[in-house]
Amino acid sequence: MSEPHLGALDAFLSSRAGPGWGALPFFRDGPARLVCRELDRLATAGTHILPPASELWTAFALTPLDAVKVVILGQDPYPTPGHAHGLAFSCLGAGPLPASLRRIFRELSDDLGTMPRRSGDLTDWAAQGVLLLNAALSVEAGRAGAHLRLGWQALADQSVAAVSARGSAAVFILWGDKARARKPLVDPRHLVIESAHPSPLAARGDFLGSKPFSRANRHLAANGLQPIDWG
């Protein structure tokens, strides 16, 4: 039986970024393998899982634990085939950007006085130390939230706690109630930026005008770290 998700897990753990993240109990004690076995079982049964197995660990692979400057928490990948590629809020493919990402780019432009980004691919953010972490790393095509109870939540908790426990300064950007629920995992010495979710459907409307990008950069600079080029 084909096991692409287990294979992708092994490839990630043997990569440059693997050792740092691999110390988390989620990887060390077996939960990661259990989740990947379930993904492989679902895929064998015909379920269309997003993102592709080879991109499941993109956020961790592009942003090693010792390189994280900013954590942005999302919920789960886009359920539209061709969009998700392992980074929270990041989008590949042609066509209109997802509504949440359009509002993120609107706030970015207003905050920094820059031209709106044209590409939804946020790989450049990840490469600079922005951990774009979804609470669930997988989803089923056309079924948003389908894997939120698959066992991923412990990984999100452990990742936030691991970044918080390091000696270097970090910024945690928590958009929406589900992300904000992880604030107790963050040591008060770090900067936490909270607001409503960028989705236009969010019940509270304080996302626009929250200036998360400039605030994050000021905190990084004040702590002797290179600010993020948000593009």
What is the residue whose two structure tokens read 């207003």?
Answer: 110
Other CB atoms closer than 10 Å to residue 80's CB: what's the count? 16
Alpha carbon distance 107, 211 (integer Å): 7
Nearest CA to 31 out of 133, 152, 163 is that of 152
Other CB atoms closer than 10 Å to residue 1's CB: what's the count? 6
> Of all helices (H) and strands (E), which one includes residue 212?
helix 212-222
Nearest CA to 169 out of 94, 115, 222 is that of 222
Alpha carbon distance 163, 157 (integer Å): 10
> Of all helices (H) and strands (E), which one includes residue 195?
strand 191-195
Task: Specify the 3-state DSSP secondary structure of 171.
Answer: strand
Do the Cβ atoms of 194 and 176 come closer than 8 Å? no
Do the Cβ atoms of 107 and 210 come closer than 8 Å? yes
Alpha carbon distance 56, 77 (integer Å): 10
Backbone angles phi, psi at 192, to 5 degrees: -110, 125
Q: Which of 40, 76, 157, 187 is catalytic?
A: 76
Is 76 an annotated catalytic residue? Answer: yes
Please give the positions annotated as active site: 76
